[in-house]
Structure 1
C-alpha cells in the first residue's frame, strides 16, 4: 500500500488491535472453518470488495476470511462512532487492508472515506446501512457495470434497498444478510440485547434494577433489549406501531403503551425501530427530570436531537465521556447517550464475537454465492439462500458440540404425503 491508501487514527495501536482480533477469532469457529476452506479452494480470486461495516474485531476476522478466499478488500466505517481505532490500525499494518475509518470522524470525513473505499472499483459491495450503495448509485453510476452484487447487514439498510428496488433504481442484486434466520434470530436478538445494555451501563454506570425502561420497537432487536433489561430487574414498557408485535410484547409479559404515555413514566428510553423521530418534542416536554435517552438503531435520527437542542438552555454539557446533559427551560435535565448514535458500538464494543460468528459466516458465504451466480440474478433484494442459512446453523451446532436428530426415510415420506391421516 502507498502512504495515502489508508486513513486511520494511529498505526502505533496496531499491536493491541491484533491481540484483540485474535481474541475475537477464538469465539468465531464457524468463520474459521469457512476461512480454512477458502484458503484451500480460493473461490474469490480476482474479486475486489468494498465493505462499509463497523470496524470491529469481528469485522477484521470477516475481512481475513475474504482475503483467504483470494479477494482484495477495502474497508470504511458504516458509522462515525463505531470504529475501533486499534483494529483499523492492525488491519492496515498486519493484513495490508486499505482502511478508511477514524472513531469520531465528522460527517464530511465519513463520506470522504466512503468515496475512498469505492475508489477500489468493487465487484462486490458489503454494506451496513446502505450508505455505500446509495453513494455509489448517486455519484458513480458508470462503475456499476462491473458489479456482480452486494450484501446488506442491517434492517435499516434492507429497508432502504427495498425502496430502491421498488422504484426501479437498484442497479445490481443484493442479498439481505440481515434477513437470514441465523442472523436476525441471534445477532439482532441476543447480540443487540446484550451489547446495548453493555453500552448503556459503560456510559452511565446506572443501576437498572427498579428502573422503568422504555423500549421503542419490538422487532428482534427490541425483543432482545427488553428481555435483557427485564433480566437485570428493570420494569419494561414497550412501544409499538405494529399490532402483532404489540400483542406479542403484551403476551411476553411487558406493558405496552403509546410513547406519549410511556414518556411520562420512563427513566431510560431505548429506541430500536429504524425510523425517524420516535422520541420527539412532545415526549421531551413530559419526561421526568433526569431521563436518559439511548439509541440502538442504525442512524442517529430516532431521537429528535435538533428539537432537544432547541428546547434547551445553552449548549449541552458533557458530564461523562458518552453522556450529554441537556437542560430544558423549566430546569429539567435530559441525558443523551453517544450523540444518539448506536450506543452499543459508540460506548462499548458491539455484539459479542460468538453471535457475530453466524452473521459474518452468512456474509462470507453470500459473497461466494454472488461470485458464482450474481450475473444471473435480477436487480432485486434477495434473501440469503436457504442452503447457506442451514449450513451456518449446522456448523454452529457442530462447533458447540451439539448433535441433533435427522428425519428417517419413513418420516420424510410421511411429510411428503397427503394420503395418511388419523
Structure 2
C-alpha cells in the first residue's frame, strides 16, 4: 500500500494499513515528515517509483493532482485508488472521466483504460471515509462534540470577564485534559496520579495541565 502524505491523516492511514499486514510505502515533500515516516519503519519513495508496484493507493495530502492520469496509467490491473485528504482533484479524476466506467457497487467503480486494464476507484475520488464508510467513528465524534460543548461553557462562563475578546482561540490545555478524563472513564482506563514531589520535580500542577500550550501530541 502506498500512502501520500505523512501528516495526521497519513499517519493514521499508514498505521491502519500496517495493522492489516500491508507493506506500507509513503511519499512526502516535507523532510521532517519524511524522516518521521522512515523512523517509523515505512519506506519513503516517490509516486513515480510506486505507481506500477503498489496494490492500494491512498492520498492524504490536501493537495492537487497528487495522483495524475499518467500515474494511474502505470498502475497494476485492479489497483485500488482512494482519497482521504481533500477534494476529488487530489486524484486527477477529471482526466479519466473519458474512459469507460463500470459500477461494481455504489461508490466503487472500475475505470477501464484503453488497453483493457482496470483500476478500482473508491468514492469517485472523494473522501473515502465518508463515501464508502459511515464517516468518523462515533467515539471520535463524542470527543469532538465534548470539546465543542466545553468550549462553549468556557466562553459563556467568561462572557463578562474580557478574557476572550472576539478572535480564534486554541482550547486551553486543562479543558482538553478534562475531555480526555471523561472519555477514559468509558474505556475503563486507570490514570496514574503524580505525587506532590513528582509534580514539583517536573514543574507542573499535580492536577494538570501536564503539558505546555504549544505541546503537540
SS of the residue 2:169 aligns to: strand
Q: Which one of 64, 72, 78 corresponds to residue 284 of structure 1?
A: 72
Equivalence for 2:213: none
Equivalence for 1:400: 187
Q: Deviations over 1:325-358 (max 9, x none)?
A: 2222233222211111221221121232223221
Equivalence for 1:326: 111
**CA RMSD across the alignment:** 2.2
Gapped regions of structure 1 (runs ≥ 5): 1-212, 418-422
Q: Which one of 125, 142, 146 corresponds to residue 357 of structure 1?
A: 142
Q: Which one of 102, 119, 135 corresponds to residue 317 of structure 1?
A: 102
* 276-285 or 397-406, which deviates more: 397-406
Contact 1:230–1:236 at 8 Å: present in 2 too?
A: yes
| Correspondence 1:296-311 to 2 at 5 A | 296-310=84-98
Q: Cα distance 1:275–1:370, how it changes in 2: closer, same or farther (>3 A)?
A: farther
State the TM-score, normalized to the length of structure 2: 0.82
How far 1:371 moved relative to its partner?
4.1
Q: Deviations over 1:68-104 (max 9, x none)?
A: xxxxxxxxxxxxxxxxxxxxxxxxxxxxxxxxxxxxx
Gapped regions of structure 2 (runs ≥ 5): 205-217
Contact 1:260–1:282 at 8 Å: present in 2 too?
A: no
Q: Cα distance 1:371–1:277, how it changes in 2: closer, same or farther (>3 A)?
A: farther
Equivalence for 1:218: 6
Contact 1:238–1:256 at 8 Å: present in 2 too?
A: yes
How far 1:373 moved relative to its partner?
5.2
Equivalence for 2:126: 341
Q: Deviations over 1:135-194 (max 9, x none)?
A: xxxxxxxxxxxxxxxxxxxxxxxxxxxxxxxxxxxxxxxxxxxxxxxxxxxxxxxxxxxx
**Number of matched pairs:** 201
Equivalence for 1:272: 60
Residues in 2 aligned to 1:230 and 1:360: alpha-carbon distance in whole angstroms:
29
SS of the residue 1:294 aligns to: strand
Q: Which has the higher helix share?
A: 1
Residues in 2 aligned to 1:226 and 1:302: alpha-carbon distance in whole angstroms:
18
Residues in 1 aligned to 2:35 and 2:76: alpha-carbon distance in whole angstroms:
27
Contact 1:229–1:236 at 8 Å: present in 2 too?
A: yes
